[in-house]
Amino acid sequence: MKRLFFFMIVVGLISLGSASAQEFTLKSADLGGQLTETQVFSGFGCHGKNISPALQWSNAPKGTKSFALTLYDPDAPTGSGWWHWVIFNISPDVHELKRDAGNLERGLAPKESVQSVTDFGKPGFGGACPPAGDKAHRYVFTVYALNIPKLDLGAKSPPAMVGYFLNQHTIAKASIVSYYGR
């Protein structure tokens, strides 16, 4: 009987510990179900402000040595989607990107981070700009917790190459999906 009682206490404590464990989460006060003019590209026929949203993440898994963040449109009519933002080598002590951090001229991105080229052909944030009349596209913001302190890549690294290394070193990831059509 004592063994059964002891076993029940241990199981209860383990359950309590796992119930209070929180998941790796990405949040943004700037994003909702639909992107706004603020996050829409300025160019290619789109007339937005091209400002990247403020993003915060929490509960990174144990062993996280750096973070990366991407913005991807899987619905772009290219056959391979469209990379709108790629930023990596974010310190494990950083848990947010400020609003407009994707604007290289503003210098708001974390020190030592790298923003590499997007499918717009240049580094930094490039907002939503689906073809006029197309269905609403999904814009997937994803933060990656990585098991290495630094990707040995630079600002000219193409998004597919960065994605390859992200997938090789991801411990966990969290995403927000917003939609936009015009």
Q: Per-residue pLDDT for 17 more than 60?
A: no
Does any domain span residue 9?
Answer: no
In whole angstroms, give the CA distance from residue 60 to residue 51. 26
pTM above 0.75? yes
121 in any annotated domain: yes
Q: What is the pLDDT of residue 21?
A: 62
**Residue 54 and residue 141 in contact, taking contact as beta carbons nearer than 8 Å:** no
Q: Is 7 within a domain?
A: no
pLDDT value of position 7: 38
Number of domains within the chain? 1
- pLDDT tens digits along 32-85: 999 999 999 999 999 999 999 999 999 999 999 999 999 999 999 999 999 999
For residue 66, the enclosing domain spans 23-180
CATH of the domain at 86: 3.90.280.10
In the chain, the largest separation of any two C-alpha atoms, in whole Å, equals: 75
pLDDT tens digit string along 99-155? 999 999 999 999 999 999 999 999 999 999 999 999 999 999 999 999 999 999 999
In a domain, 10, yes or no: no
Q: Collapse the DSSP code of 175 into the 3-class scheme (helix H, G, I; strand E, B; otherwise coil) and give the result.
A: strand
Residue 15 lies in a domain: no
Residue 132 domain-assigned? yes
